Amino acid sequence: MGLRPRPGERIRFNKWIGEGDQPTSKQWTGTVTGVFRRSGKRIYQILRDHDQVVQELQHVNIVARLPKDGGDDTPKSRGGLVDNLVAIEKASGMDIKFIGFLLWFSVADCRITREQLEEVFSETGIDSKRLPKEISPRDAFRRATSAAEKKRIPLDLKEERFLNCMIREIRADSKQINRQLVREIVDGKNVRLEYTPVADLIHQENGIHLIPKVDLLHDERDVIDEIKDTYEIEKNCYNGRTMRDIINALLWECHPVAVRTSGGVYFVPARYEETTKSIKRFAKRLNDYRSTDHKTTCWTMPLVDAEEQRSMIEESLEDQVASESKAVIDEMAKLTKGERKITQKLANQYVERVKSLKKLYTEYEDMLNYKSVEAQANLDLAMQGAMGILSKVELEAS
């Protein structure tokens, strides 16, 4: 057989004839709603598009994985997957249970003022306590200047000379930030031919001051103008990075488990459905303020409570606990060997990180009704290390 169907994807498929190598000629399209084992055999549960019937098959041949509808990053079926399954459950008497959701999102860059963000929070049901801190003009200055850097602008193609407009920080204190626009000219092999600070870029409480030190090249004047314009935007608007932080903070409250090694796709328990709905509404509203052609998207897919799905969650949870426990242990080992002073606050932070990881594991332990000796051992090691650091700090203090 070819590729195995995956839960949630839409496929064009036909059935295999018995255990042989020949599929039937008739083809269907549908959504894979579950994969589980029965009597040691893998069973695929597929909701067919043409009659909305859930078919259970042992042998499935994927003719094609269907493209995402309308360019979105989610598989779709008519009427919505959840609605269809609920309707089928009522009509057929099938007991379809959901253990939770798979969630993934992508955040496009945007520019949104605090007032606009407060309005979006209110509309999407997100508590105002989740609002980010006020925009710092100093941070806005750093973002505006850093974003203005330019690389390899052609100056003389015959001689292969290129201009780099670089930003370098000279000094910073509580009253002002001093940066410089630096002219670097290189040849075709990137060998430096000139390095000259050409303008002082200063941020003070009363605003920014961009002061040329020499006659500027045309492209350097463009950089100065860009810094002025960008600073006015940055000091009044949050960007996509802040919006991603907000979504991550909301998602973290749902105790997610990454189900893909590289991250990006998370399992969220069913009891956090309302929070996931708020995240989706928030992501959709952000598109009114996007500054690129890309869209902010957030999708969820219900996960049927079946053996295969439970195994996926359990394995992913063990991997996550092992990875995060190791990260904490490695950080603490590096800390104890280094010269950095270990404060009470820092020691408490490690203890709280391990407690948070333990809370995550306990929730899934109860939900899935399973225990992992490996995960518990990793948590115990991490907690021993954290308590050891805390005891050392308390001993030194006494």
Rounded to 5 degrees, φ, ψ at 30 are -175, 180
DSSP 199-228: EEEEEETTEEEEEESSPPPHHHHHHHHHHH
Per-residue pLDDT of the chain (398 residues; tens, 9 = 90+): 456 777 777 888 876 544 445 556 678 888 887 776 666 677 777 877 776 667 778 777 777 777 644 333 343 433 455 555 555 555 555 567 889 999 999 999 999 999 999 999 999 999 999 999 999 999 999 999 999 999 999 998 778 999 999 999 999 999 999 999 999 999 999 999 999 999 999 999 999 999 999 999 999 999 999 999 999 999 999 999 999 999 999 999 999 999 987 778 999 999 999 999 999 999 999 999 999 999 999 999 999 888 888 989 999 999 999 999 999 899 888 888 877 777 888 888 888 999 999 999 999 999 988 788 888 888 888 888 888 887 777 556 55
Whether residue 323 is found in the same domain as residue 176: no
Q: What pLDDT does residue 40 have? A: 67
Whether residue 265 is found in the same domain as residue 383: yes
Whether residue 220 is found in the same domain as residue 269: no
Whether residue 230 is found in the same domain as residue 167: yes
Whether residue 345 is found in the same domain as residue 230: no
How far apart CA 74 and CA 80 sit, in angstroms, is 11
In a domain, 68, yes or no: no
* 245: CB partners within 8 A, 6+ apart: 132
Whether residue 305 is found in the same domain as residue 345: yes
Domain boundary among 235, 264, 288: 235
CB atoms within 10 A of CB 126: 19
Q: Please choose, from the candidates 353, 325, 339, 346, the residue with its C-alpha nearest in 3D space to the C-alpha of residue 390.
A: 346
State which residues form the domain around 389. Answer: 114-123+249-397
How far apart CA 306 and CA 71 sit, in angstroms, is 30
In a domain, 383, yes or no: yes
Whether residue 311 is found in the same domain as residue 382: yes
The structural domain count of the chain equals 2
Q: Are 200 and 213 in contact (CB under 8 A)?
A: yes
Whether residue 191 is found in the same domain as residue 336: no
Whether residue 269 is found in the same domain as residue 367: yes
pTM exceeds cut of 0.75: no
Domain boundary among 235, 261, 292: 235
In a domain, 277, yes or no: yes
Q: What pLDDT does residue 52 have? A: 66
Whether residue 118 is found in the same domain as residue 267: yes
Q: What pLDDT does residue 76 have? A: 40
For the chain, give me the number of helices (H) and strands (E)?
9, 16
In a domain, 346, yes or no: yes
Block residue for tokens 């590729």: 3
Stated as kind and residue range, the H or E segment containing 164 is: strand 161-172
How far apart CA 164 and CA 156 sit, in angstroms, is 13
Domain boundary among 171, 205, 235: 235
In a domain, 173, yes or no: yes
CA-atom Rg of the chain in angstroms: 28
Q: What pLDDT does residue 388 have? A: 81
In a domain, 19, yes or no: no
In a domain, 267, yes or no: yes
Q: Please choose, from the candidates 238, 239, 270, 18, the residue with its C-alpha nearest in 3D space to the C-alpha of residue 115.
A: 238
How far apart CA 187 and CA 154 sit, in angstroms, is 10
Whether residue 289 is found in the same domain as residue 388: yes
In a domain, 339, yes or no: yes
Q: Please choose, from the candidates 100, 23, 58, the residue with its C-alpha nearest in 3D space to the C-alpha of residue 271.
A: 100
DSSP 244-307: HHHHHHHHHTT--EE-STTSSEEEEEGGGHHHHHHHHHHHHHHGGGBSSSS--EEEEEEEE--H
Whether residue 180 is found in the same domain as residue 300: no
Among left, alpha and beta (phi > 0; psi -120 to 50; other), residue 39 is left
